Amino acid sequence: MRCLLIVFITLLCCSPVLATETDPCIECHRQKTPAAVLQWQQSAHVGAGVGCADCHGSDHERLLSKEDMVDAAVCGKCHQDEFAEHTGSRHGMGLHAGWGCTRNLAGRDPAECRFCHEEGSTLPVSKVQCARFLKQSSEMGALGCNRCHQVENNCASCHSNHLTDARISEDPKICAKCHMGPDHPQWEMWETSLHGTLYYSAGPEVGPSCQNCHMSSGTHDVSIGLTSPPSMKPYPQEQQLQQRQAMIAICSQCHAPEFANRELSAADIIRQQSLDIIKQAVDVVQDINDRNLLDPKPSDRPAHPLRGHELVTDGQMLYEDYSHLERLLFKMKKYSLAKTVKGAYHQNPAYTHWYGNAELKMDLVDIRSEASRLKQGAGESSVDGKGANKPSIDDALKILKKKFERGAISQQEYDSAKKVLMQKYLESSE
Amino acid sequence: MFPYRTVVSKILLIFILLLLASCAVVPPVSKLPEQYTLTRLDKVSSVSKIAWHPDSQQYAVSSGGLVVGRIDGPIHRVHSIEPAAIAWSPTGSLLAISDPDQEQSKIRILATDDWRVLAEIELPGQVRDLAWRDDEQLVLASVHLSYYSFGGNYKVQLYHWRQNEELVSATIVDSSPLKSTLDSLGKQIYDTVNLQISPFRDEVAFTRYSLTPNAGNHYRLVVRNLDTGRERVVAKITNETNGGHYFGDGDSLFYTDGYRQSLAKTIWDTAPYEAYPAGLNLEISPGGRYKLIDRQLFKDRNADFSFDRIDSAAFSPDGSKMLFITDGILYLLTGLKDIQPERLPISQRLLDLRRWRSEELITPQEFINYVEQMENQ
């Protein structure tokens, strides 16, 4: 009996080794892709009896033509809960939002078809809608956009291709490969916050990592507790409240709920103050556009990939083929706003203040100053439009209408301002 | 002996009498009210275009060339080209004609004192609609047709031609008809624009054909401001009508929907419309008192009398006469007493208001209020 038990335990221990030796792919791939084979041999997949063909399929032709790729859905066959959490989260959304084909854009690179289509097929495999992506060369799109935004359909983004060691995906550094840089420096602001510094000095048991707060209890839904989308405009009240309660529950693992609520509420206020500053800047840019003073004018530029020749100041704003004034606004929205707001929620004073808030306010000074320069260049006064060359009645009516249409003035204000303009016109000599 | 000579001479006499009877001119109206006078002017082509001189005394028609005449005198052939479109300039000193070929059209401007050619330009497509904005600027609509295996492309280009200046153009219609649509329309497709210039000469009314493979064919009566390019769709119509005709006030159009009724309607829906019987070819006198619906003449809102047939017609600018063609003969109807159009004199201020209304910078009601204010000043 004792002998039988020893034989059983020995066989159990050797079974992964036996499994690797019986997989028909191994013999060749040990030579062709040795790292992949080695990593797989060290992974939990071996012990679970998951061989190469279980994920990659067995049709070599389709594999070589990349028709059979290991996407998130392949992993989801076994890891159903994780797949469901991932696809429902912000990571699962990626850039998919329903986009337009670029085939009719002037000067577009035919090679970029492969972002959305299998070769020879007109069926879209992706629904990306991002103006900045559509402006990229194929090479820049592949490396500069998709290397991060593939996360929606690629578990390997965080887990690596063949390793299954949880230490890889539980290390906050795995988040850093995307969540860093001028537009969303969450890595840097965590690393230099009290949370991050404690993580490094006192250890993971004391300082929380990205995963502790955003993937609490091992969830793959990274959106839990977030109260606004990337645009920073808060969700509706009910949704905000629900999300906030979820985040406070996470914070409460270490902090008093009242403390967490107070800190997060302060960040909410900073977010709103920052959005107000952005609105002031957008109003200035739109006003200058109403006066046809942007240089170049939207009508004189290459068409925006999604909106044509209209002024775009929202999330689809480009950082090329536009005016200096818009360049200042882009930097303000994309960099300074993100640093202020994300800095506040990540409890990083320097990011919130100096990299963020101070830059936001200085950006607004720059934008106002540039707008003033443009008005003066056109002969208008920078203060009240009473300069040497007042806008003609035509232009004044058009500016007023644009202001009304974009909600900058109410119907009553519009009617009354128009009435004043028209009375002046009718009372003037022809 | 049989009286051969008598019988033959009688037969010949009967034959000659029959021949003479067939050549006699039968007036194209059986009972003409006594206040009107009908005069037969000349033989012309049945498909002639008629254009009145601004003085209401002279006219031009296309008939084997360009023919001009006075209402009290004979006609003269002054140019060899038989124009597809004719337009006198506002002062009457110039006359523009169009000679379309298959692919392009030759536009000529003639001096009306000696009929010499002052300027000429060639444009792609068929130009069958001309109008003068002023004595220096011509507005033209050109129809382009391209054929493909699946159907074709039907495009209408609006040109502004001012001598010695660069031609300005805008596409006002662009659609892709099916082959079956093109086949059914045939050559009629070149006569689809029906361009009419407003009395203020600041906007045009035209018919827009939207010939789409998926959404079917649609026809719209459209008004377009020539300065701003802003358009307003006035009505849905059918493809057999001859477009919209401006009232003298410049704010209303007379048109037919082609199957149900003809309407006198304000462009900006600022007043109730007047309904008349349906027709296909309409004309209106400048004051709006007389309306011709196919062959029936309306005075005020009542049917006055009917012609037996009318191929084409045009009221004189002073509203006292109407030229019309029936069976290749040009007639003049006189004795009309039109009313003066109710409108302010053309001023820059009024044109400004009309332009701002087209751009929706002021509402139609604000336009009315400001015009009233101008009248009171």
Cα A304 from Cα A183, distance rounded (Å):
21
Specify if A288 maps to a domain: no
What per-residue confidence (pLDDT) applies to A116?
A: 60
Q: Residues B220, B226, B227, B229: is their CA dihedral positive or negative?
A: positive
Distance of CA A319 to the CA centre of its chain: 15
Query: And the tokens for A212?
Result: 């502790």
Specify if A82 maps to a domain: yes
Mean pLDDT computed over B116-130: 94
Best to test chain A binding among B351, B356, B376 (most A CBs inside 10 Å): B356
Mean pLDDT computed over A308-329: 93
Burial classification of residue B134, based on how many CB atoms lie within 10 Å of its CB (0-12 exposed, 13-18 middle, 19 or more buried): exposed
pLDDT of B224 > 70? The answer is yes
Q: Kind and range of the H or E element at B17?
A: helix B4-23
Q: Which residue of B has its CA nearest to A401?
A: B361
- Of the pLDDT bands very low, low, confident and very high (cuts 50, 70, 90), residue B26 is low
What per-residue confidence (pLDDT) applies to A11?
A: 44
Cα B12 from Cα B25, distance rounded (Å):
22
- Of the pLDDT bands very low, low, confident and very high (cuts 50, 70, 90), residue A109 is low
Residue B178's alpha-carbon distances to B185, B220, B288, in angstroms, are 11, 19, 39
Distance of CA A387 to the CA centre of its chain: 43
What per-residue confidence (pLDDT) applies to B73?
A: 84
- Please give the sequence-ordered ranges of beta strands (E in DSSP) within A192-275, or none if there are none: none
Question: In which region does residue B95 sit, left (phi positive, over 0), alpha (psi from -120 to 50) or beta (all else)?
Answer: beta
Cα A338 from Cα A186, distance rounded (Å):
9
Of A397, A401, A426, the CB nearest to B374: A426
Q: Residues A351, A353, A354, A355: is their CA dihedral positive or negative?
A: positive
Q: Kind and range of the H or E element at A22?
A: helix A2-22
Chain-chain contact of A397 with B362 (C-beta, under 8 angstroms): yes
Owning domain of residue A92 = 69-170
CA-based diameter of chain A, in Å? 118
What per-residue confidence (pLDDT) applies to A111?
A: 60
**A402 shares contact with chain B (CB less than 8 Å):** no
Q: Which residue of A has its CA nearest to B356?
A: A394
What per-residue confidence (pLDDT) applies to A143?
A: 85
Specify if A141 maps to a domain: yes
Contacts with A397 from chain B: Cβ below 8 Å:
356, 361-362
**A394 shares contact with chain B (CB less than 8 Å):** yes
Give the number of beta-carbon pairs within 8 Å between A and B: 25
Backbone phi, psi, residue B76, to 5°: -130, 140
The secondary structure of residue A418, as a DSSP letter, is: H
Best to test chain B binding among A290, A425, A428, A429 (most B CBs inside 10 Å): A425
What per-residue confidence (pLDDT) applies to A263?
A: 96
- Of the pLDDT bands very low, low, confident and very high (cuts 50, 70, 90), residue B101 is confident
* DSSP labels, B139-202: EEEEEEEEEETTEEEEEEEEEEEETTS--EEEEEEEE--BHHHHHHHGGGGGG----EE-TTSS
Chain-chain contact of B370 with A426 (C-beta, under 8 angstroms): yes
DSSP 3-state of B355: helix
Distance from CA of A297 to the nearest CA of B (A): 18
Chain-chain contact of A398 with B359 (C-beta, under 8 angstroms): yes
Distance from CA of A339 to the nearest CA of B (A): 41
| Span of A367-371, A382-386, B138-142, B190-194 with lowest mean pLDDT | A382-386
pLDDT in tens, B53-92: 999 999 999 988 999 999 988 888 999 989 999 999 999 9
Chain-chain contact of A394 with B373 (C-beta, under 8 angstroms): no
**A108 shares contact with chain B (CB less than 8 Å):** no
CA-derived radius of gyration, chain A: 28
What per-residue confidence (pLDDT) applies to B208?
A: 93
Chain-chain contact of A393 with B352 (C-beta, under 8 angstroms): yes
Mean pLDDT of chain A: 84
pLDDT of A14 > 50? The answer is no
pLDDT of A17 > 60? The answer is no
Of A397, A426, A430, the CB nearest to B361: A397
3-state secondary structure A71-126: CHHHHHCCCHHHHHHHHCCHHHHCCECCCCCCCCCCCCCHHHHHHCECCCCCCECC
3-state secondary structure A325-359: HHHHHHHHHHHHHHHHHHHHHCCCHHHHHHHHHHH
Decide if A313 contacts A301 (C-beta within 8 A). no
Mean pLDDT computed over A192-208: 95
Cα B20 from Cα B14, distance rounded (Å):
10
Mean pLDDT computed over A115-121: 61
Chain-chain contact of A397 with B356 (C-beta, under 8 angstroms): yes
Show Cβ contacts of residue A405 under 8 Å, excluding neighbours closer than 6 positions. Answer: none
Mean pLDDT computed over A49-67: 83
Backbone phi, psi, residue A26, to 5°: -60, -45
What per-residue confidence (pLDDT) applies to A308?
A: 86
Number of structural domains, chain A?
A: 1
CA-derived radius of gyration, chain B: 23
Mean pLDDT computed over A80-89: 81
What per-residue confidence (pLDDT) applies to A215?
A: 92
pLDDT of A32 > 80? The answer is yes
Specify if A344 maps to a domain: no
Decide if B266 contacts B302 (C-beta within 8 A). no
What per-residue confidence (pLDDT) applies to A8?
A: 47
- Of the pLDDT bands very low, low, confident and very high (cuts 50, 70, 90), residue A137 is confident
Chain-chain contact of B374 with A397 (C-beta, under 8 angstroms): no
Contacts with A420 from chain B: Cβ below 8 Å:
none
Of B347, B362, B373, the CB nearest to A430: B347
Tokens 């792609």, located at residue: B124
In one letter, which amino acid is A377?
G
Cα A71 from Cα A50, distance rounded (Å):
16
pLDDT of A153 > 60? The answer is yes
The secondary structure of residue A299, as a DSSP letter, is: G
Question: In which region does residue A56 sit, left (phi positive, over 0), alpha (psi from -120 to 50) or beta (all else)?
Answer: alpha
- Of the pLDDT bands very low, low, confident and very high (cuts 50, 70, 90), residue B368 is very high
Cα A385 from Cα A377, distance rounded (Å):
12
Specify if A139 maps to a domain: yes
Residue B204: HSE in the Cβ half-sphere, 13 Å Cα cutoff: 24
What per-residue confidence (pLDDT) applies to A85?
A: 82
Mean pLDDT of chain B: 89
Q: Kind and range of the H or E element at B225?
A: strand B216-225
What per-residue confidence (pLDDT) applies to B257?
A: 84
Decide if A244 contacts A251 (C-beta within 8 A). no
Decide if A338 contacts A180 (C-beta within 8 A). no
In one letter, which amino acid is A208?
P
**B361 shares contact with chain A (CB less than 8 Å):** yes
What per-residue confidence (pLDDT) applies to A146?
A: 81
Of B349, B361, B373, the CB nearest to A430: B349
Contacts with A393 from chain B: Cβ below 8 Å:
352
- Of the pLDDT bands very low, low, confident and very high (cuts 50, 70, 90), residue A131 is confident
Q: Which residue of B has its CA nearest to A422?
A: B370
Residue B166's alpha-carbon distances to A253, A328, B161, in angstroms, are 76, 39, 8
Specify if A118 maps to a domain: yes
Tokens 């550094």, located at residue: A173
Of B347, B360, B370, the CB nearest to A422: B370
Q: Which residue of B has its CA nearest to A426?
A: B374
Distance from CA of A117 to the nearest CA of B (A): 26
Tokens 């003085």, located at residue: B55
pLDDT of B167 > 80? The answer is yes
Cα A4 from Cα B286, distance rounded (Å):
116
Angle CA(B188)–CA(B190)–CA(B193) in degrees, nearest 5?
A: 105
Distance from CA of B35 to the nearest CA of A (A): 45
A269 or B176, higher pLDDT: A269
**A384 shares contact with chain B (CB less than 8 Å):** no
Residue A389: HSE in the Cβ half-sphere, 13 Å Cα cutoff: 8
pLDDT in tens, A297-313: 999 999 888 788 999 99
**B347 shares contact with chain A (CB less than 8 Å):** yes
Mean pLDDT computed over A205-226: 92
Q: Which of B168, B143, B147 is nearest to B155 (CA)?
A: B143
Show Cβ contacts of residue B14 under 8 Å, excluding neighbours closer than 6 positions. Answer: none
pLDDT of B19 > 60? The answer is no
Cα A243 from Cα A241, distance rounded (Å):
5
pLDDT of B22 > 60? The answer is no
Backbone phi, psi, residue A374, to 5°: -65, -40
Cα A301 from Cα B201, distance rounded (Å):
34
Length of chain A: 430
Cα B45 from Cα B64, distance rounded (Å):
7
Angle CA(A338)–CA(A344)–CA(A349) in degrees, nearest 5?
A: 110
**B352 shares contact with chain A (CB less than 8 Å):** yes
What per-residue confidence (pLDDT) applies to B217?
A: 84
| Span of A37-46, B306-315, B338-347 with lowest mean pLDDT | B338-347
Contacts with A398 from chain B: Cβ below 8 Å:
359, 361
> Residues of chain A with pLDDT > 70: what percent?
82
